[in-house]
Amino acid sequence: MSDSDIQTLDLARARERMVQVQIARRGIRDSRVLDAMRCVPREAFVDPGFEEFAYEDGPLPIGEGQTISQPYIVALMIEAAELRPSDRVLEIGAGSGYAAAVMGQIANRVYAIERYPSLGEAARRRFSSLGYDNIELRVDDGTLGWPEAAPFDAILVAAGGPNVPPRLKQQLAVGGRLVIPVGSKEREQKLLKITRRSETEFEQEDLGEVMFVPLVGQQGWAEDGRRAASNHVPGRSRGRTLPEMIAGAAEPLPDFLDPAFGQLFDRFAARRVVLLGEATHGTAEFYRARAAITRHLLSDHGFTLLAVEADWPDAAAIDRYVRHRPARMGGEPPFQRFPTWMWRNTEVAALIDWMRAHNERITDVAHRAGFYGLDLYNMSGSIRAVLDYLDEIDPQAAKVARERYGCLTPWQKDPSTYGRAVLTAGYNKCEQAVIAQCRDLLLRQLDYAAEDAEDFLDAAQNARLVASAERYYRVMYYGGPESWNLRDTHMFDTLTHLLEAHGPQSKAIVWAHNSHIGDARYTDMGVVREELNIGQLCRQRFGDDAALIGFGTHTGTVAAATDWDGDMEVKRVRPSRRDSYERLCHDAGVARFLLDLDRDEALRRRLLEPKLERFIGVIYRPDTELMSHYSDASLSQQFNAYIWFDETTAITPLGPEHHRPGMPETYPLGL
């Protein structure tokens, strides 16, 4: 089978999954719509270079500031229009031509209008190359319709107007259906279905809130965003805009070192778990804010566990330092793997110094604050930690463990290649071996715990990590949600093991990216990709005892790489998109604030409707930002609170100059 045959097969599978997961599972039942979307190759309607994203459930750029609508919205509108094989259909806002092509699979004739000549010509070429000969397209003002082809059995409008253009209503046949987004403000619309019952009677149905580009034309919006003169309705709504509501609820944040900063978060002090997110892995303000909250919760509210999105063995070196425990000799300095700047930076170093000083004042070592890693990437480090421990406590067990772990050794430097090896060799036994090692270690808990309970907790978690990591790197090869779900489940399990080990009164603070701590059920992650995360699992386990706090920014600089394992760069963050939550916060006009999403019910309800939200990890690619870094989410269901910094700066990575004279050699981040 050739590469092109494989690609065609993969895209066909992706198309079928799109229909099943994104469309049918979300309530679309019309078999004609589902079959039509199975037939039309969406990859043919996106710009070159975006083919691999064609079946993601999101809009894609097509030029002229326009987008191809997400598949679910296309299906929802076509189903609402109740298309039949004999129908004549008018589409306003043809864009790439994708929706017209889907409708052409059902209806007898489709008339499409596009106001941008370049988009119209590109759509015509696609129709011709794909053999769609029942679609006619012209470039014109869509708000005026296509009177010489009227009346139409259905009209679909792929842009939002301030109200329903009268010309379009008049071009409906009796019994015809018009589906259009309408709203008094751009990008805040309701999807309406209007059915013509007689020459003078129209029936209207509200299909819910949507977000479309503006409908520009004589009976829509003007180019500058105002209502067109022929469509102006005197007066304006006295209700507050969403940015005004955000500004009214925003609690301004003081300086990071001001005790009042941490005190703002007393409202979450009774929770068992407080999860602190970040919208990037390289923004100084996010680290400083989390550090200020953490210092307050550790010193004033009985929290003793700080669990971070970092590898367990690396974090264990920090933990020994902050709790004044002897360092393990001979080990590499922590956080040497990409991305080193994520934890080897001045903000983290300052918190580590504070934690060590804080713990020095606590005479009961059991109540000292610990620093723990939740992640599973550093498989080689975990194997080494288990073996070192067993060498000291049980040499015979260490010998057996070395034999069991031997099958993993070839991939310890690049464990992601282990997944490829699984496909061609009999390495399934590794999974059973590492699980057996973990089980054997746990069965000896009573004997080992008598020697040193803290060392046992470390070794037991490393054994669990090896078992999880082996499975993670194996399933990572296949793609899909399995590897993400295994990783986040492992991180959640690690958190629960820590809480159990420290007793029923223990309380934890979690640092992780927004994509991990915002409830996945209310993002594209859960709705479309069937992924879960720590935030979701914490809510399911702890209920209201878990507080999920997200972070966001409008623009500034960020520390990130262009490619995995690449060099860190300080990159400029593009201003947030107009159709994003970040832009709503920017438009609120408050530079930095806390938004408690549980305190203002009216605002919470307004923020239920999904909008775009930006996610920047250790990789940032501004040129493909919409596809690479934005996803749909429901902010008020995703988080309990949201922390906003309008303009932010990149973190400062540690270098040799940060190993200060007189600093003890045991200092974990010294170079």
pLDDT single digits (tens) 529-553: 788 999 999 999 999 999 999 999 9
- pLDDT at site 462: 67
**Which is the catalytic residue, given 2, 4, 31, 69?**
69
Per-residue confidence at 93, pLDDT binned at 50, 70, 90? very high
- pLDDT at site 472: 60
- pLDDT at site 513: 95
Decide if 237 is catalytic.
no
Percent of the chain residues topping a pLDDT of 90 = 52
- pLDDT at site 3: 47
Is the torsion defined by CA of 60, 66, 72, 78 positive or negative? negative
Rounded to an integer, the average pLDDT of 15-43 is 91
* Selected residue with higher pLDDT from 660 and 166: 166
Phi first, then psi, for residue 589 (nearest 5°) are 80, 15
Per-residue confidence at 370, pLDDT binned at 50, 70, 90? very high
* Selected residue with higher pLDDT from 561 and 606: 561
State pLDDT tens for residues 568-602.
999 999 999 988 999 999 999 999 999 999 898 88
pLDDT at 646 over 80: yes
Top-confidence range, 106-110, 307-311, 487-491, 521-525? 106-110
Residue type at position 211: M
pLDDT at 235 over 50: no
pLDDT at 6 over 60: no
State pLDDT tens for residues 458-486.
777 666 666 666 666 555 545 567 778 88
At 475 the three-state DSSP class reads helix
Dist. CA 127–CA 125, nearest whole Å: 6
Rounded to an integer, the average pLDDT of 8-31 is 85
Mean pLDDT of the chain: 83
Rounded to an integer, the average pLDDT of 15-19 is 90
pLDDT at 415 over 80: no
Per-residue confidence at 656, pLDDT binned at 50, 70, 90? low
Q: What are the beta bridge partners of residue 372?
A: 307
Identify the weakest region by mean pLDDT among 71-85, 147-161, 181-195: 181-195
Dist. CA 501–CA 417, nearest whole Å: 34
Dist. CA 344–CA 365, nearest whole Å: 26
- pLDDT at site 563: 84
- pLDDT at site 375: 85
- pLDDT at site 214: 81
- Whose structure tokens read 């706090």? 549
- pLDDT at site 318: 93
State pLDDT tens for residues 242-282.
999 999 999 999 999 999 999 999 999 999 999 999 999 99
Identify the weakest region by mean pLDDT among 60-74, 156-170, 449-463: 449-463
- pLDDT at site 335: 86
Rounded to an integer, the average pLDDT of 178-194 is 82
Per-residue confidence at 238, pLDDT binned at 50, 70, 90? very low
- pLDDT at site 664: 46
Q: What burial letters (b/e) apply to 363-400, b meaning 16+ CB within 10 Å?
A: eeeeebbbbbbbbbbbbbbbbbbbbbbbeebbeebbee
Per-residue confidence at 452, pLDDT binned at 50, 70, 90? low
* Selected residue with higher pLDDT from 48 and 323: 323
Dist. CA 417–CA 477, nearest whole Å: 8
Q: What are the beta bridge partners of residue 642?
A: 550, 595
pLDDT at 659 over 70: no
Q: CA 542 → CA 302, 534, 550, distances in Å?
A: 18, 11, 18
Instruction: Tell me the Ramachandran region of residue 212: left when phi exceeds 0, alpha when psi lies from -120 to 50, beta otherwise.
Output: beta
Per-residue confidence at 566, pLDDT binned at 50, 70, 90? confident
